[in-house]
Amino acid sequence: MKKWFKRGLFTLVVLVIVALVGAAVFLLTFDPNAYKNKVEQLVYERYQRHLTIEGDIELSLFPRIGLAVEHVSLSNHNNESTFASVDSARFAIAVWPLLWNRLVVDHVAVSGFKVWVQRDNAGNFNFSDLLRKPAPLTKQASSSLSPIPPAQAKTPSLVPDATQAEFQIDIAGLDLKEGEIHFYDQDTTTQMRLVNLELNTGRMTFAQPFDVIFKGNLQGEQPIAQATLEGQALVQLEPHLHRYSAQKINMNLVGKVGAYTAQSATLRGALEALTHTEDLRARQLELVTQGKWQDEIQELQKIQVNLNAAQLNLKRNLQLLHTQKMQLRASAFLPVSEGAVEHKLELAFDAPKVNVDTEQVSADPVAFSFKQNQGQHMFGINIRSKQLEGSLDQFTAQGLQIDVAGKDGQRAWKLDMLSALTWAQSSKTLFWSDLVANLVLEDENLAPNPAQAKLTGAGSWAIPSNIWPLKANGKVRTHKP
C-alpha cells in the first residue's frame, strides 16, 4: 500500500513540475504584442471606438504577473477624434481570482492621462455609451467566440439587474500623475480644463465606497479661469444601477474663475448622480467662499458667501428643482475713494422647502432681505411670502409682504406693502391684487412731520424682452390718515 502511495505521490509531483515548467515556458515565449490588433478589433466591435496601442506591451512574471503599456489612445464613438490617451500604464494582476470571474489588480500606476469630455446641445456626454449596459447575448450568440454584434448593443436596458453574475473588478489602488481633463459644452460654449492632475485612491471595486484624493490646476477660456483645485471624497461607483455618488466631499479652490477671484472657496457635503434619470442630488451641502468680483460693469470687494442646503435635487436643464432648508448669507463692499466711509451690502435668503417641476410649483414661507449701508445713507428691503403655489406657466405668491426703508441724512422713509402677486410666464407679466401699502416720510421741512399716506389698488407690470422701458398699468387709490 505504501509503495503505491509513494508512486502516486511521485507521479503527482512530476505532473505539477511539468505543469509549472510548461507554464513558465509559455509565459517566457508568450508575446502579448502579437495580440494588439485583436484587442483593438474587439474594442471597436463592442464599442465602435478605435483603440490604438502604439507602444510595446511588456509582460513580467515576478513577483506577480504584471503588464506595462505605453502610448495608448481611445477614440470617440464612431469618430476618429481622441477621447482619452495614456502615456504609460503599469499594473499587476492576481491569477487565481480570474477563475472566479474576478479581476484583482494589485496596483495601477498611470502617467500622462488625458481625457476630452464633451456635452452636446441635447445634454449628452461623449462617454455615455461606455456607461450603458450592453444587451445580453442570445443563446445562439453565447456559443460563439465572436464579440457582441453592434446591433445588439444599441438599446441598453435601464432596469438594473443586480442578480446577474458580472465580471468583478477589484483594484488595490490607483496612482495617477500628470493628468488632464478637458471639458467643452456646446450649448453654453463653456471650455475648461483641469491640468497637472494628481489622483490617488484606496481599494477600488464596484458598489463599495473608496477614498479619492486629488489636486490640480483649473484653467479655462470660457469663462477665463486660473485657479488651484484640491479635494477628497468617499466615492462609490454602481454602473449596474446607473448611480455614482461621493460622500464626505471636501473641495478647496483658490484663484480666478470668470469675474470672481476666490481667496478661498470650500465645498462640503454629499453628491449623487443618477445617469438614467439625469438627476443630481445633494445632501448637507455647504459652500463657503471669500473673494472679489470685478467685471466691466461692477466691482465688489471683501465678498463673503455662505450657502447651506440640507437637500437639493436638480433635474437636467433645471426642469425640476427640490430643496429643503436652504439658507444663503452674503456680504460685500463697494469700492470707495480713500478716506470715505465703507459702503456695505448684505443679502439673506431663506427657503425651508421649495418644489419646482413641470406640473407644479410650491414653497413654504420664503424670506429675502437686502441692505445697503454707508454712514448716514441706508436702504433696505425685506420680502416675505406665506405660500407659493401654481405651475411654471403661472404661479401666485399669497400673503406677499414687502417692507422697504431708506435714509439719507436727516430724511427717512418707509413703505410697507401687502398683496397677492401672480406671475404669468407666457406674457411675462406681473399681476398684483388687493394691494395695501402704508408710506411714512420723515423730514424736518415737512408739516406735519412725519407725513403718512395709505395706498390701495391692483395692477400689472409687463416686462419686455429688453427689460427697459417697463410698462405698468393699474389703479391706485390714496387715503389720507
Domain that holds residue 178: 23-131+167-205
- pLDDT tens profile 70-103: 999 999 999 899 999 999 999 887 766 666 666 6
Q: Please report whether residue 56 resides in a domain.
A: yes
Average pLDDT, whole number, for the chain? 82
Question: Is pLDDT of 355 > 50?
Answer: yes
Burial code (b: 16+ CB inside 10 Å, e: under 16) for 295-326 equals: eeeeebeebebebbbbebbbbeeeebebbbeb
Within a domain: 436:
yes
pLDDT surpasses 70 at 480:
no
Distance (Å, whole) CA 242 – CA 276: 6
Instruction: Please check whether residue 103 lies inside any domain of the structure.
Output: yes
Number of structural domains the chain divides into: 2
Cα–Cα distance list, 415 to 375, 378, 380, 384 (Å): 21, 14, 11, 14
**Which pLDDT value is given to residue 146?**
41
| 13 class by beta-carbon count within 10 Å (0-12 exposed, 13-18 middle, 19+ buried) | exposed
295 within domain boundaries: no
Residues 128-183 have pLDDT tens digits of 888 765 544 444 444 444 444 443 434 444 334 443 445 567 888 899 999 999 99
Which tens digits make up the pLDDT trace of 437-475?
899 998 887 777 888 888 888 888 887 655 444 444 444
Of 205, 229, 256, at which residue does a domain stop? 205
The answer to whether 107 and 92 are in contact (CB under 8 A) is: yes
Tell which residue, 193, 236, 199, has the closest CA to residue 214. 199
Does a structural domain hold residue 228? no
- Domain boundary among the residues 152, 181, 205 is at 205
262 within domain boundaries? no
Work out the widest C-alpha separation in the chain, in whole angstroms. 129
Q: Which residues contact 230 (CB under 8 A, 6 or more apart)?
A: 214, 215, 216, 251, 252
Q: Which residue has the higher pLDDT, 279 or 328?
A: 328
pLDDT confidence of residue 109: 92
Rounded to whole angstroms, the Cα distance separating 148 from 132 reads: 14
Q: Pick 433 or 253 by higher pLDDT.
A: 253
The residue among 147, 179, 205 that closes a domain is 205
> What nine digits make up the cell of 225?
479661469
pLDDT in tens, 225-264: 999 999 999 999 888 888 999 999 999 999 999 999 999 9
The CA-based angle 339-334-297, given to 5 degrees, is 130
Instruction: Determine, yes or no, domain membership for 299.
Output: no
Asked whether residue 396 is assigned to any structural domain, the reply reads yes
